[in-house]
């Protein structure tokens, strides 16, 4: 007697089992007090979300972060996902449990991504068992596991299968309510903080929609199948417009950032010799962590088996199979970057000109290839008796779980959470010594007994190698101490800052340190970094791993100078080869090399003159002899100084310049110029004045206005979709629009 289990019960059972597998995968992080401390997590994941939650809890919107790299537009940089809905978990729970919340959030991303993929497969094959197998294969695939460190990327990934399900459901039923889910989820993807990945999902989703429409046209000789593509386009336009509050500031920052000058075609692609990683990689991660797309051996074996089965039994694969397979192969082609002519053409079209990692198209390959495999399994399973279907499903499930878990489980390197929340004595000492306006430079790598892994910097003979970010995190985020470190960069920072630090790494310069307002150097023990200018420093702290040196001549982040010199940027023709073996192409770039060269030359003296790039409106006639600066306020979005001098000069604030910073002297706005390559400078007329610098993000205000228009457009779309019933493609010919 055959026992039939209701479909609803099977859904619930598979969802519970799937949730159990996700919890098991993250068990050590959720219940055993471990934390992830490698790759981008300690330098981007933890600090950005911690800072965003802290600021929001205090009633401040985190437009600017002054504690890293002279400050940068925190919200515009986007990786913190300030507006991403799932990040609200940090607002309602105490930050004392921040790392635990972070890992629960990561697990929730995996869970939702798998459940939405399960929905998508149910819509395709109507079989919970096959959808469950596909959801496991997708959730624990090489791409998902190797990007466990990139929470903002996972935020985009988890919504893509939901969008695909909504569109497919609309095609199958003609119910317009499903389309209305797409615009807000597109906005959520933008809020997650990886705009290039959103652009990739747009491209792939429209390719799939067009393929479905073309197939419909060939089957019916009618063009009615293209109407849903138009509706999908309308949903994307509304969703992107609604997300303007995020992408307008991000675009504004991008156009001033180091990314705009980087050749998009030569970074992060999948080379031909790395395609073997998709078959059976020796490991996920390491040098190939951006290029992991392993989905198990079984799907790769099942594809030729299905081809033989279809040929032998004269059974044509379903239309959805061919659509999914072609989309997967197209995505794989795009991962080759400069080896793909279409990708080279794509990078000439905004916003794809800013895509740096074409290997991330592997996500879409995994998505659609697994979809095609599940469709083929459905067709092959239909010829088997029910008993053999159950046995085959169990065998496939056990093999796939064993394969993917063996390959990816334990991919991360956990450390004790207690260590993460402790305050090292060296940092407590620094906090006690600091005065308003001081800045710290954390340089080099320090030995530590802590089990920390970062990229390729892993075990050495006497312990772990810990990068400067390890200290910079505590200094900058936990204690609000302005800190710079040679090895940490947000995805988007102002273009000149990486150039400045690259030059500092090559040739450390005391005058530049003085111009930066560095008071303390935090160095590994016996570091040769201090040798060229040791006479100007005094060792103030030392422990088993770290030395802290004080700059005896530091004037802090704000100081007056009596004169200026003019150095203007120069245009240069930058050659690069967009395709291996291709012709050399030239781009016009601003390298600012002449300004940077002067900054590091013996002619530069930060006490005598500031480097300006255009003539100031007012020039010094009577230079000051004595000056005094008192810090009145130092907050993320504004500083206030009481400046007293017996003559004129130029006030330099060693924080990052941005056109969005405004300066006020006694309440009256004064012009701000770029000073000393990356900082802010204003003319000071002498006497005693209160000087304020305030961050006024006009780009955010413009984005907010467009987002309100996007909300209105969404309401109009809602009204339109509910006023008429949009038919499925099969009904288009019988349906007449008014």
pLDDT value at residue 264: 46
Q: Which of 251, 124, 234, 118 is nearest to 186 (CA)?
A: 234
pLDDT value at residue 589: 62
Distance CA 710, CA 307 (A): 47
**225 DSSP 8-state letter:** G
Rounded to the nearest integer, the mean pLDDT of the chain is 82
Q: What is the mean pLDDT of residues 187-202?
A: 90
Indicate if the pLDDT at residue 541 is higher than 60.
yes
Better pLDDT: 108 or 718: 108
Residue 65, strand partner residues: 72
Indicate if the pLDDT at residue 95 is higher than 70.
yes
Distance CA 655, CA 487 (A): 19
Query: Does residue 687 come out as left (phi exceeding 0), alpha (psi in the -120 to 50 range) or beta?
Result: left
Q: What is the mean pLDDT of residues 677-695?
A: 95
Indicate if the pLDDT at residue 442 is higher than 60.
yes
For residue 402, the tally of other CB atoms under 10 A from its CB is 11
| Percentage of residues in the chain having pLDDT higher than 90 | 38
Helix (H, G, I), strand (E, B) or coil at 589: strand
pLDDT value at residue 578: 58
Distance of CA 483 to the CA centre of its chain: 21
Q: What is the mean pLDDT of residues 341-345?
A: 75
**353 DSSP 8-state letter:** G
Angle 489-698-65 (CA atoms, 0-180°, nearest 5)? 30
Residue 590, strand partner residues: 571
pLDDT value at residue 288: 42
Tokens of 530: 């201090």
What are the sequence ranges of the domains in the chain? 7-414, 563-695
Q: What is the pLDDT of residues 286-321, one digit of tens each?
A: 444 556 778 888 888 888 888 888 777 777 788 888
pLDDT value at residue 449: 39
End-to-end Cα separation, the chain, in angstroms:
55
Better pLDDT: 462 or 513: 513
Residue that is written with structure tokens 């799932």 in the block: 86
- Provide the CATH number for the domain formed by 563-695 in this structure: 2.60.40
Q: Helices then strands (H, E): number in the chain?
A: 25, 22
Indicate if the pLDDT at residue 730 is higher than 60.
no
Helix (H, G, I), strand (E, B) or coil at 409: coil
Q: Which of 215, 129, 727, 317 is nearest to 121 (CA)?
A: 129
Indicate if the pLDDT at residue 166 is higher than 90.
yes
């Amino acid at each position: 007697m055959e026992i039939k289990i209701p479909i609803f019960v099977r859904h619930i059972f598979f969802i519970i089992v799937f949730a159990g597998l996700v919890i098991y995968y993250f068990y050590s992080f959720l219940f055993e007090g471990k934390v992830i401390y490698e790759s981008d997590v300690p330098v981007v994941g933890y600090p950005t979300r911690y800072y965003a939650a802290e600021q929001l809890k205090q009633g401040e919107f985190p437009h600017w972060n002054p504690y890293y790299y002279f400050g940068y537009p925190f919200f515009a940089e986007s990786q913190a996902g300030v507006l991403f809905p799932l990040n609200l978990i940090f607002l309602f729970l105490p930050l004392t449990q921040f790392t635990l919340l972070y890992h629960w959030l990561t697990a929730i991303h995996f869970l939702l991504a798998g459940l939405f993929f399960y929905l998508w497969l149910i819509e395709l094959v109507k079989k919970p068992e096959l959808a469950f197998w596909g959801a496991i294969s997708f959730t624990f695939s090489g791409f998902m596991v190797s990007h466990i460190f990139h929470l903002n990327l996972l935020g985009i990934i988890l919504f893509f299968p939901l969008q695909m399900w909504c569109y497919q459901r609309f095609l199958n039923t003609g119910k317009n309510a499903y389309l209305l889910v797409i615009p807000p989820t597109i906005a959520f993807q933008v809020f997650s903080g990886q705009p290039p990945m959103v652009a990739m999902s747009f491209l792939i989703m429209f390719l799939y929609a067009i393929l479905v429409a073309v197939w419909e046209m060939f089957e019916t000789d009618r063009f009615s199948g293209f109407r849903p593509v138009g509706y999908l386009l309308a949903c994307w336009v509304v969703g992107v417009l609604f997300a303007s509050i995020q992408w307008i500031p991000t675009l504004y920052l991008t156009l001033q950032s180091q990314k705009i000058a980087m050749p998009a075609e030569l970074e992060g692609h999948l080379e031909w010799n790395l395609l073997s990683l998709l078959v059976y990689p020796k490991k996920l991660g390491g040098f190939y962590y951006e290029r992991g797309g392993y989905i198990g051996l079984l799907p790769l074996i099942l594809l030729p088996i299905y081809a033989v089965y279809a040929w032998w039994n004269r059974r044509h694969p379903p239309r959805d199979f061919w659509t999914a397979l072609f989309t997967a192969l197209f995505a794989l082609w795009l991962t080759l970057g400069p080896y793909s002519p279409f990708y080279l053409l794509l990078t000439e079209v905004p916003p794809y000109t800013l895509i740096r990692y074409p290997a991330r198209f592997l996500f879409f390959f995994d998505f659609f290839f697994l979809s095609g495999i599940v469709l083929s399994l459905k067709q092959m399973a239909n010829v088997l008796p029910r008993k053999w279907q159950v046995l085959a499903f169990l065998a496939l499930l056990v093999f796939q779980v064993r394969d993917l878990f063996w390959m990816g489980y334990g991919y991360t390197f956990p450390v004790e959470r207690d260590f993460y929340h402790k305050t090292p004595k060296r940092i407590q000492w620094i906090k006690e010594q600091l005065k308003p306006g001081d800045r710290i430079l954390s340089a080099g790598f320090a030995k530590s007994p802590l089990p920390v892994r970062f990229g390729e910097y892993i075990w050495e003979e006497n312990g772990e190698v810990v990068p400067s970010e390890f200290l910079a995190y505590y200094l900058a985020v936990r204690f609000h101490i302005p800190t710079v470190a040679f090895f940490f960069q947000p995805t988007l920072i102002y273009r000149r800052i990486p150039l400045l630090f690259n030059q500092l790494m090559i040739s450390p310069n005391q005058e530049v340190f003085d111009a930066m307002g560095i008071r303390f150097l935090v160095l590994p023990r016996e570091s040769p970094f201090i040798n060229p200018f040791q006479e100007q420093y005094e060792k103030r702290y030392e422990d088993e791993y770290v030395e802290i040196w004080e700059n005896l001549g530091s004037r802090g982040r704000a100081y007056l100078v009596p004169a200026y010199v003019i150095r203007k940027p120069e245009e240069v023709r930058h050659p690069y080869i967009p395709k291996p073996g291709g012709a050399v192409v030239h781009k016009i770039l601003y390298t600012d090399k002449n300004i940077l060269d002067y900054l590091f030359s013996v002619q530069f003296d930060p006490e005598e003159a500031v480097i300006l790039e255009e003539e100031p409106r007012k020039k010094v006639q009577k230079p000051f002899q004595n000056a005094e600066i008192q810090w009145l306020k130092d907050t993320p979005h504004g500083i206030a100084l009481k400046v007293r001098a017996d003559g004129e000069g130029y006030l330099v604030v060693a924080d990052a310049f941005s056109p969005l910073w405004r300066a006020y002297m006694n309440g009256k706005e004064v012009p701000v110029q770029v000073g000393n390559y990356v900082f802010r400078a204003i003319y000071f007329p002498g006497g005693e004045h209160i000087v304020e610098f305030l961050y006024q993000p006009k780009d955010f205000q413009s984005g907010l206005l467009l987002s309100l228009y996007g909300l209105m457009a969404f309401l109009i779309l809602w009204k339109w979709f509910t006023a008429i019933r949009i038919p499925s493609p099969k009904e288009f010919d019988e349906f007449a629009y008014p």
